[in-house]
Amino acid sequence: MTETRFADAQWFTEVATECGSAFSLEIRAKVHEQQTPFQKIEVWETKRWGYLMVIDGFVMLSSRDNFLYHEMMAHVPLFTHLDPRHVLIIGGGDCGTLREVLRHPQVETAWQVDIDEGVTRASEKFFPELCESNNDPRARLHFEDGIKWVKEGEAESVDVIIVDSTDPIGPAEGLFTEAFYRDCLKMLRPGGLLVQQSESPLLHMQILKEMHHAMRGAGYADVRTYQFPQPVYPSGWWSATMARKGRAIDSFREAEALAAPEKFGTKYYTADIHRAAFAMPAFFRREIG
């Protein structure tokens, strides 16, 4: 279990007791604190990492490195799908993933469904660069329960579902179940993709194993995990897991991905990164199969 601890007045520290490690950032001051009906949101001004958002004591994002996560959550599935026109984001209240999704001109509609409006309002104030696409006419922001939204969603109505959630505790726990993945499968069109952040391969292998098992049990044809760095998260090594409805994940739109850095202004994502991200280490292959 992860807890929050302050070494002194100059540092914010998140302690990951499950692995005997901690991550700290040097801070100037707390600039925002809000207890919503769902969680406690805090924003800190740091000395070298811009702003830091913390939810219930867990680091969510910093100004300095959030591009790694948001680019990999959005561009990997959207360049893997052959024609992503309708995208559903569950969670993602900071709006960074939404911004990256809407860089793709073929996307006609992007729904963002996050249970807590407080996250989005804090992001608009302290991370406005992440919210620059919130007024895009293709964007639809809903502050509702994503689990309920998917359960009641129209069958075969979306091409890509991105689950940009917090850790599998509290309000997000139900987003890591076979029942939820089955409801997502119903909403996806044939060939559609589901992608979900899936924690650290180094620290959270049990969560990853359970996700693969649950996604396959829900009826997905192919399930694969990809990796990327994320310094502010425990271990600094993070992952997302992608599953396809109806057929194997066997290619991506490489020619278009090659142009991403110039066309979209990506800072991390490239076609080479896309290919390499799916190369998982030997211990992962032994555990997952």
Catalytic residue positions, numbered: 164
Tell me the β-bridge partners of 30.
Answer: 44
Position 218, amino acid: A
> CA Rg, the chain, in Å?
18
d(Cα 98, Cα 76) in Å, to the nearest integer?
14
DSSP state of 144: S
3-state SS string for 143-176: CCCHHHHHHCCCCCCEEEEEEECCCCCHHHHHHH
Instruction: Report d(CA 152, CA 150) in Å as an integer.
Output: 5
Element (H, E) at 274: helix 271-277
Q: Sheet of 58-62: strands edge to edge?
A: 2-5, 11-16, 21-35, 40-46, 51-55, 58-62
Give the Cα separation of 187 and 170 in Å (integer): 24
Beta strands in 146-199 (DSSP E): 158-164, 188-197
Q: What is the DSSP letter of 130?
A: G
Tokens 């660069």 appear where? 129
β-pair type (86-91, 109-113): parallel
Specify which residues 229 forms β-bridges with: 237
On whether the CB atoms of residues 244 and 192 are closer than 8 A, the answer is yes
CA distance 99 to 70: 9
